[in-house]
Amino acid sequence: MTITRFAPSPTGYIHVGNLRTALMNYLIARKAGGSFILRIDDTDPERSKEEYVDAIKQDLEWLGLTWDRVERQSERLDRYAEAADRLREMGRFYEAFETPTELDLKRKKQLNMGRPPVYDRAALALTQAERDALRAQRGNGVWRFKLDQERITWVDGILGDISIDAASVSDPVLIRGDGQVLYTLASVVDDMEMGVSHVVRGSDHVTNTATQIQIIAALGGTPPDFAHHSLLTGPKGESLSKRLGTLSLRDLREAGVAPIALLSHMARLGSADPVELRHDISELIDGFDISRFGSAPTKFDEQDLYPMTAHHLQSLPYEAVAERVRGLGVPDGLAAQFWLVARDNITTLNDLEGWWKLFRDGADPVIDAEDAEFVAQALELLPEGPHDAQSWSEWTNAVKAATGRKGRALFMPLRKALTGQAHGPDMAQVLPLLQVIRAKA
């Protein structure tokens, strides 16, 4: 059975980079009829917050990315302790006591000598008495996994054949001095015990994958199929790392981005397939193929989401937005017509409020000096409301007959006087919605 997982740490709101990982894992599971696990990686008790756990769930629900079950690493600490004991028993786990300053000096020395800055395994040479003395002086040390210094290879679902020399990688720290289990160990134990078959994550995890493959083997497991997607950059290729905090899913939701627009964009961005708006997520599932993605950094511009959102909104019937429209206070008798008029002239649903304010309260008229007399005369000919779909045509025909104006010289001054805008919806549709005409006051 295909089993994938999305494993966010609840230390902040999830952003578009996180979404890329979540969506790919979700689509793989759903296309195969498998299972998608939401795993909360909350082993850091100081930084993990319950409010972020709730926010992660809310954001995924907003997008329609449903999970089959939720797991929490904070409830599985005994499983990690057991795995750590097994690694100790087989001689693959050792305690090290270097301070951060000492490690930094070692790295600088190795770099100066032209060597890779990997941990020198000095802790392996310590006697029991020396370890006891260091522990008494400095407290508990960190626990490192002893890598077999050989080449680690796998076929990556996106990057292809990968080969990493374990001798060029430091023995990874799996447990901190304060006892906190780190991602590298916890993730391995979880993936093995939960039967995770496919893992998609960012290309910054490639080295982690190499070390995890060895840890999985040491614990008697079989590695899942790994795929590492490219990292997102800004539209000009700039790093997004400093901006991801402003690209959280809840920020995009507040800005009015439609879920299907965001999903359509992210499900194909960086692949050989065109980014096209889909009607629903089932279309994204059917067409998803991880092998179609490339390894080059992928440019992301949030501005691309807005034309897709607008295009999506233009296809929606009134019933799909009725609650939102009624929430503006639009009378039931006008609500459906209001939506039909407004939907082709908005980028997001947030824009509806401005249109209803214009129709409800009237617009500040824009009247050019040379048109002032003409507009005044025209408004005298405007019959009292309520107006209907024929009112605009009947009125402008009467104005044309009285003034001799026609074409743009007739219609544009009237549009600007009634709406304060030179562009917008068909005035035949607008006039019946106008509750107040300020230019007539």
Q: Each residue of 88-123: pLDDT tens digit?
A: 999 999 999 999 999 999 999 999 999 889 999 999
SS3 167: helix
Positive or negative CA dihedral for 156, 162, 167, 168? Answer: negative
Residue pair 374/405 in contact by the 8 Å Cβ criterion: yes
Residue extents of the structural domains in the chain: 3-69+190-232, 79-175, 244-314, 318-440
CATH fold label, 318-440: Arc Repressor Mutant, subunit A (1.10.10)
Residue 114 φ then ψ, to 5°: 80, 20
Longest dimension (CA), the chain: 108
353, burial (CB in 10 Å: exposed 0-12, middle 13-18, buried 19+)? middle
For residue 34, give both structure tokens: 């498998």
Q: Would the pLDDT of 405 be above 70?
A: yes
For residue 219, give both structure tokens: 């614990």
Q: Would the pLDDT of 387 be above 70?
A: yes
Say how far apart CA 440 and CA 414 lie, in whole Å.
Answer: 11
Secondary structure element (H or E) that encloses residue 161, with its range: strand 160-165
Mean pLDDT calculated for residue range 253-265:
97
| Whole-number average pLDDT of the chain | 95
Q: How many residues does the chain have?
A: 441
CATH fold label, 3-69+190-232: Rossmann fold (3.40.50)
pLDDT, one tens digit per residue, over 322-372 is: 999 999 999 999 999 999 999 999 999 999 999 999 999 999 999 999 999
Q: Which pLDDT score is estimated for 237?
A: 87
Say how far apart CA 196 and CA 190 lie, in whole Å.
Answer: 8
Mean pLDDT calculated for residue range 241-267:
89
Query: Would you tell me which CATH number, out of the four given (3.30.930.10, 3.90.180.10, 1.10.3720.10, 1.10.1160.10), belongs to the domain 244-314?
Result: 1.10.1160.10
Q: Would the pLDDT of 242 be above 90?
A: no
pLDDT, one tens digit per residue, over 201-233 is: 999 999 999 999 999 999 999 999 999 999 999
Identify the band that residue 151 occupies on the pLDDT scale cut at 50, 70 and 90: very high
Domain covering 79-175 assigned CATH 3.10.310.10 in the classification: no
What type of residue is 287?
Answer: G
Say how far apart CA 195 and CA 73 lie, in whole Å.
Answer: 15
Q: Which pLDDT score is estimated for 244?
A: 65
Say how far apart CA 310 and CA 372 lie, in whole Å.
Answer: 36
Of 257, 428, 280, give the one whose Cα is nearest residue 351.
Answer: 257
Q: Would the pLDDT of 440 be above 90?
A: no
Residue pair 350/363 in contact by the 8 Å Cβ criterion: no
